[in-house]
Amino acid sequence: MPTLLIIRPSNRPQQDIQTCHAAGWQAQVLSPIEIEVDRSALKKLPEQFKQADVVFWVSPTTIETAVPYLTFSDGPEVHITVGQTSQHTLAQFSPYPVFSPKDGNDSEAVLRMSIWKNLPPNARVLIIRGHGGRDFLADKLTELGFQIDIAEIYFRRPHAIDWQNFKTEDIAAAYVTSGELAREFFHQIPPQFSRFFESLLYFTHHPRIADALRIVGAKHVETVTSLSAALSSMPQRSQAVNPVEDNKDTQQVANTAAPASERSENTRPSEQIKPTQPQRVEASMPESNNLPQNNAPVIIKQSGGKALAAGATVLALLSLGASGFLFVQGQNVLKNQELEFNQKIDKAALGESENASLLKDNLNRQTAIQAELDRLNNGQKNNSDQILQTQKAYQELLKGRINWLVDEAESMLNTASQQLMLSGNLQGAVSVLEHIDSRLSRFEQPELIPIKQAISNDLAALKNRPYVDISATALRIDRLETGISGLPLVLDGVLKPGAAPVEAANSGTWWENTWEKSLNALKGLVEVRHLDSNDAMLISPDQTYFIRENLRLRLLDARIALLQHNGEVYQSDLNNVEASVKQYFDSKSPATQSWLKELAELKALDVRMISDDSLKASLSAVRAYQEGSRIQMTTEEAAQTQDAEKTASAPAATTEQATTAAPAAASAPQSLEAPALPSENKKEPAAEAAKPQNQTKPAAKIKGEQA
């Protein structure tokens, strides 16, 4: 009896074994993967089942695993399966009708069903499957407007195959039910069996699984609708047929059927007949033909021209049927390829749109950075122009000591005001005002009283304003960023076992002590803990990484807002960080409490922009004094001009003497002067130096009056 290998998990091959026995085949099961139930997912499944409007069952394994935990009267009335086998399995448990596609047994066929058009909009669809399933159906239903809820209730774990007692005799073919099984099966094949399994004939029910078999090394793969169709497409090797005609007639019929058999792509295992058996001629078909055939071989007797004509007609009909089936199968393959191509196009379009959005964001950021650089360059240029103008003003004006002090005070006040506006350097501004106040206190002139009062008021206002050390605060935020990696999650704290109860002293009898220990053991089997946030229990390790990175980005944004003195953004970022830490991390942990305490201290800081009128009173007083000084200097210059005009208009008695002495002096011959003695050179500079001193006395007097 020929043997068929069934490549399936160990909990599913019973029905396949019965099918093989009914068709006259012997079944041998190899399970490279075993099913492991996810208990946590099964506990949540009844609640998901009650909230769903439609339930989609992926496989019979899913049905048999989930049904013991469900009550169908509490759930929806619409149930959809992926294939006929799943439909028959679910019909045994569900009191409601079960729908399945008629034109396929995959997610694409389910998506083509008309039942989705009859469902209400925003209907909740529950997909029950194992971990690691395809998301094709879920994504497409989401695009159609349905709400998707996925319950993954079991794991597929690799299972080692026992190859010690494995024998390849009488193995004619293999039946594979998933691509994951095919990959894991070929991964476990020993080297001594690799050539045998590469040349073995494989049956499967889906083209995607057939492609997976070809990728891992299978050379002969056929796609069939079911296991019974695969068995019917191959004649039984164990059935012996007695020859009813002589060798000559058999040889003629074999020659007649040769063209049809030569068109076969691969030699079936049923054609490997032992030499001791009589030769018989079978009506063969191409390997890709999956039409059911009779198990008994077709023997054509040569009984004249009518027999040959009938045989040719049968062969022609079989060829025509095979061609039609190949055409239909080719159309199905083309449709599947078209769907896959459309999916790839959609993914490529999505990727291009994401790249375009990223490029646009980068361009916007570059534009903002360039604008900021231009603004800083303009500010630097304006500062340079102001410095040049101040230097020119210093060079043009001749001022007294107090005027120079007032001008220096104005320059320092301007610099302090700019520091307050640009960097919020409050301590620097306070130091400038204290320095100016200490220097003005050396002078007791009444003109300086308004400047002293204004500087005193601004100094008191700045000292009363809360001060934030920007550099120290930035370092504290950086320390918080470093400490994020050491914060324990809520999930880590919940999964830790509780403290074991302290055993009391054994004071009773042996039976009482045994009974007490048994009760304590039973009480310790289940431990109930209260958890405020359910979302924290659903995060995966990958999501944990993104949560920590989001916290770091929030703290970085808060540090930037601190440098910009933007109090609203600073407080908002710190509040979001605190909420995230309390939601996803263990707030009872000492590390988390210390971290949150540091964060609370940072939140208490008053970060705000310092207005530009902080030193306005001092600058106004200084400029008012400077304006009064200019007016006074203009008045004095006008008075000096009038005095000069008066002296020029006064009669000069010596004008006539000068006119008479002028011709004599002009007629006198000019003579060369002799070199002066060193003693004369010393006296003359002394005399010349005395003249400027006499000339500078009025100027010094004027400056004293101004002071």
Q: Encoding tokens for residue 158?
A: 């690799």
Is the distance from CB of 262 to CB of 54 less than 8 angstroms? no
Based on the fold, state whether residues 38 and 153 are members of the same structural domain: yes
pLDDT per position as a tens digit, 514-570:
888 888 877 767 656 555 555 666 677 778 888 889 999 999 998 898 887 788 898
Q: Higher pLDDT residue, 593 or 655?
A: 593
Which of 284-293, 411-420, 556-565 holds the top average pLDDT? 556-565
Q: Higher pLDDT residue, 615 or 68?
A: 68
pLDDT surpassing 80 at residue 44: yes
Whats the size of the chain, residue-wise? 707
Considering only 6-10, 229-233, 281-285, 392-396, which range has the smallest mean pLDDT?
281-285
Look up the CATH number of the domain holding residue 103: 3.40.50.10090
pLDDT surpassing 70 at residue 342: yes
pLDDT surpassing 70 at residue 512: yes
Q: pLDDT at position 115, please?
A: 86
Based on the fold, state whether residues 130 and 229 are members of the same structural domain: no
Q: Encoding tokens for residue 59?
A: 């496989």
Please tell me the distance from the alpha carbon of residue 243 to that of residue 254, in angstroms, as a whole number: 14
Q: pLDDT at position 684, please?
A: 42
The answer to whether position 211 is within a domain reads: yes
The whole-chain average pLDDT of the chain stands at 75
Q: Of 193, 211, 233, which residue constitutes the final position of a domain?
A: 233
Helices marked H in 397-446 — which ranges? 401-422, 426-440
Please tell me the distance from the alpha carbon of residue 447 to that of residue 445, in angstroms, as a whole number: 5
Q: Is the pTM of this model over 0.85?
A: no
Based on the fold, state whether residues 56 and 134 are members of the same structural domain: yes
User: Predicted confidence band at 679 (pLDDT cuts at 50, 70, 90)?
Assistant: very low
Q: pLDDT at position 489, please?
A: 83
Which of 231-245, 421-435, 449-463, 576-590 holds the top average pLDDT? 576-590
Based on the fold, state whether residues 73 and 135 are members of the same structural domain: yes
The answer to whether position 558 is within a domain reads: no
Determine the residue type at 669.
P
Q: Which residues contact 425 (CB under 8 A, 6 or more apart)?
A: 416, 419
Is the dihedral angle over the CA atoms 333, 334, 339, 345 positive or is it negative?
positive
CA atoms within 13 A on the CB side of 253: 26
Based on the fold, state whether residues 14 and 131 are members of the same structural domain: no
Based on the fold, state whether residues 11 and 55 are members of the same structural domain: no
Q: Of 110, 127, 158, which residue constitutes the final position of a domain?
A: 158
Based on the fold, state whether residues 83 and 143 are members of the same structural domain: yes
User: Predicted confidence band at 213 (pLDDT cuts at 50, 70, 90)?
Assistant: very high
User: Predicted confidence band at 411 (pLDDT cuts at 50, 70, 90)?
Assistant: confident
Q: Of 199, 233, 267, which residue constitutes the final position of a domain?
A: 233
Based on the fold, state whether residues 216 and 70 are members of the same structural domain: no
The answer to whether position 52 is within a domain reads: yes
- Total domains in the chain come to 2
Largest CA distance in the chain: 175
pLDDT surpassing 90 at residue 471: no
Based on the fold, state whether residues 144 and 212 are members of the same structural domain: no
The answer to whether position 87 is within a domain reads: yes
User: Which domain range does residue 196 map to?
Assistant: 3-27+162-233
CA distances from 116 to 147, 343, 594 (A): 13, 20, 54
The answer to whether position 54 is within a domain reads: yes
The answer to whether position 500 is within a domain reads: no
pLDDT per position as a tens digit, 697-707:
443 333 344 43
Based on the fold, state whether residues 17 and 117 are members of the same structural domain: no
Based on the fold, state whether residues 62 and 135 are members of the same structural domain: yes
Based on the fold, state whether residues 54 and 198 are members of the same structural domain: no
CA distances from 263 to 260, 271, 287, 322, 356 (A): 5, 15, 9, 11, 53
The answer to whether position 582 is within a domain reads: no
Question: Closest by alpha carbon to 127, among 229, 48, 69, 72?
Answer: 48
Is the distance from CB of 147 to CB of 122 less than 8 angstroms? yes
The answer to whether position 90 is within a domain reads: yes
Question: Closest by alpha carbon to 155, among 57, 35, 31?
Answer: 35
Q: Higher pLDDT residue, 599 or 607?
A: 599
Sheet of strand 26-30, all strands in order from the earlier edge strand to the far edge: 26-30, 3-7, 171-176, 201-204, 220-223
Is the dihedral angle over the CA atoms 250, 253, 259, 263 positive or is it negative?
negative
